[in-house]
Amino acid sequence: MRARWTALRAARRARRKPLISADDPDLRVVVIAYDETEAASAALARATDWQPDLPAVLRHHLALPAGSVPDARALLAADGWELRPGGRGTECAAPELTPLVALRVQELDALHCSQESSRMAGLAQRHGGQSFGWDALQPAAR
């Protein structure tokens, strides 16, 4: 009986959480972590608009050689990431690199942000590219 009650409460909480889309026009940047020396926990701690109980669109800013984009896209898609043109690489990347953002909807916490940041930096390095940090977007608080 207790397990059933716990499952019902979890289901109710899940229904209350609004689902968001990476294409939602109401999204705004709530966390910025462009300094690779700053811990993800510090970036989240200083983010006054971040709503930790709601999902966010996590974006990693990368730049890769054009020839490696299809391989990177396939590798990231296996874990639910979408690779799109644009991002901070438009301002920072070497001209031979293609600016990209890897994004997906998820709940944010310091551990996962840190792990994914390391993963994206490794991906960029293995493909001869660059990583420029991450940010997260959420709709405005209601």
In tens, the pLDDT along 11-46 reads 555 555 558 999 999 999 999 999 989 999 999 999
Q: Reply yes or no on whether the pLDDT at 73 is more than 60.
A: yes
pTM: 0.84
- Span 90-122, pLDDT tens digits: 887 788 899 999 999 999 999 999 999 999 999
Position 3 confidence tier, pLDDT thresholds 50, 70, 90: low
pLDDT at 103: 97
Place of tokens 């896209």: 73
Q: Write down the H helix ranges in 2-108.
A: 2-16, 40-45, 69-77, 89-92
Exposed, middle or buried: residue 141 (CB in 10 Å: 0-12, 13-18, 19+)? exposed
